[in-house]
Structure 1
Amino acid sequence: MPDDRLAHLVQDARRGMERALQIRLIEHSIAFGHWSFLRILWEHDGLTQRELSEIAGVTAPTTSSAMNAIESLGYVKRMQKVHNKKNVYVYLTKSGKALKEKLLPLAEEVNAIAIDGLDPEEVRIARKVLLKIIGNLVVDEQNLLLTENKRLPSKRELGRLTSV
């Protein structure tokens, strides 16, 4: 029986969109987890791996693993600058840049499928509501982290909690 609570509906919609896009991306040997990194690099080529992690909202090891995979496919190159050996910079290759023309239409197709049957006003309202929800949750997180001195648990901590 489907759960109609808002959090579950949003999660189900996200999952459905991710699966629909993954089915399309796999034809190009791209995992859904690599999609967000490519999207970021198409807009901001030459970021450090640390910056890429921060923008994507994932841990450094996650980014490193993804870059290993994407680099092995020939879509990115990692380099250190002569004057700054500390940071690893990520650059799209020619084929990585060319992927944008192939993959963005797939995401647009999934978005079109998701809103099929909705009129433009319904889409506008849905976007407005989702942006408001996101904003409310960002404010809540900031309040908890800054004012109440709470913190986000690491994935390792969460793993320990669930493995008991």
Structure 2
Amino acid sequence: MTIKQAPVSDSILRHWREAVPEDRLAHLIKDATRAMVRGLQMRLAQHEVSFGHWTYLRILWERDGLTQKELSDESGTTAPTTFNAVSAMEKLGYVVRQQTPYNKKNTYVYLTPKGKALKRKLIPLAEEVNEIGISGLKEVEVKTARKVLLTIIENMAKDEANSSDPARRIPSTRELAELIARREALEDE
């Protein structure tokens, strides 16, 4: 006899409806994001594209020829993460990196025909996930949700931009590792 496992969503829904129905909005947004990302990941995997690559492809489909730094900034990822992803995408034939003759400092990332062609296959998958996610909602509810989420994003961006406290920023992976190493060294003394 085969036992069918309950989907992950069952435990998440039970958590929200029964255990913590009044928990913080941030947790609810995180779980909704996680559910939609999983839905997209399942679909992208059918085309052998990782979610991480999807993020960069989506940006490059809108603005091809960005520097690696611009791509990192737009995706909200660190420079090493972007470098690794672009390297992997280059091996897969989705992008090429080039320097211009007049500026050897910056490396620009360009989609290849193969990378451009993925747009026709992958965008409908993202649209499908969005449609699944909003099924059962009225148009006015979707508009309200968009307004609420955009306001939250804007408010949090303002909070980050207005922070004058240098301790209230996101450290690089290297800085974080150094902070941890220093703390461990102090604890060992």
What residue is the counterpart of 1:55 in the other structure? 74
Q: CA deviation at 1:153?
A: 2.3
**Cα offsets for 1:77-100 (capped at 9, x unmatched):** 111112221111111001111110
What residue is the counterpart of 2:153 in the other structure? 134
Q: Tell me the secondary structure at the aligned position of residue 28 of structure 1.
A: coil
Identical pairs, percent: 60
CA separation in 1, counterparts of 2:36 and 2:120?
A: 20
What residue is the counterpart of 1:151 in the other structure? 169
CA separation in 1, counterparts of 2:97 and 2:160?
A: 34
Q: CA deviation at 1:68?
A: 1.1
Q: Tell me the secondary structure at the aligned position of residue 85 of structure 1.
A: strand
What residue is the counterpart of 1:96 in the other structure? 115
In structure 1, the gaps of 5 or more residues are none
**Cα offsets for 1:36-80 (capped at 9, x unmatched):** 100110011111111111111111110111011111111111111
Q: Which has the larger radius of gyration?
A: 2
Residue 160 of structure 2 contacts residue 169 of structure 2 at CA under 8 Å; is this kept in 1?
no
Matches within 5 A, 1:1-164: 1-2=15-16, 3=20, 4-144=23-163, 146=164, 148-149=165-166, 150-158=168-176, 161=180
Q: Would you say how many aligned residue pairs link Structure 1 and Structure 2?
A: 162
CA separation in 1, counterparts of 2:107 and 2:152?
A: 36
2:29 maps to a residue whose letter is V
In structure 2, the gaps of 5 or more residues are 1-14, 185-189
TM-score by length of 2: 0.79
Q: CA deviation at 1:157?
A: 4.3
CA separation in 2, counterparts of 1:104 and 1:151?
A: 33
TM-score by length of 1: 0.90
